[in-house]
Structure 1
């Protein structure tokens, strides 16, 4: 994937998943989504995820944790290492991307929840 350049345009959130998963986000105002019915995920989820990862207008991609198992190894690797857009997986299983804390740390390069991060390095 090529390096993106942000020219001060705002980027939007994209949601990928079943219509049942994306509906709540759509009602909340998310305009960019890829609906992939559960019975079509083995064939179509890779393409839907690739579409949003390659869309320069997308800054955040939201997926359900459980959908990670439907992705091919190569697309899963792209999802797990993507910095822009950042991919956030949510759901009950917790198996998707190592937790929200790790996803944020990977995206911005620092651990916002690290209590030692605010410590003065000159203090010992």
Structure 2
């Protein structure tokens, strides 16, 4: 359910709205080598293929790469809390974590944040 706010900045009507979608941001810190970054990227691409095919509750999943700091940052939007729980319990999530451990590509400094989306601008028309 969304609440529409007034159009105050010339944004198309209905562009400002509030929602109860769940947001997850994840900072994945990788060993500081090109090989670890490459392997992690391959693992994440395979993981995202499974997410796309099997998780309709994932409304958006952005994967960002920061080669300077040897990190990947994900920005994920889920339909609701149930979709987050489903995502975390999937076989492909377990396989990703196991592969990260097997290939020893992660380092300390990982952060995971769970939030509720409370306002959004867009889409703009």
Could you state the TM-score of these two structures normalised by the residue count of structure 1? 0.31
Whose strand fraction is larger, Structure 1's or Structure 2's? Answer: 2
Could you state the TM-score of these two structures normalised by the residue count of structure 2? 0.31
Name which structure has the greater RCO, CA cutoff 8 Å, separation 6+.
2
Whose helix fraction is larger, Structure 1's or Structure 2's? Answer: 1
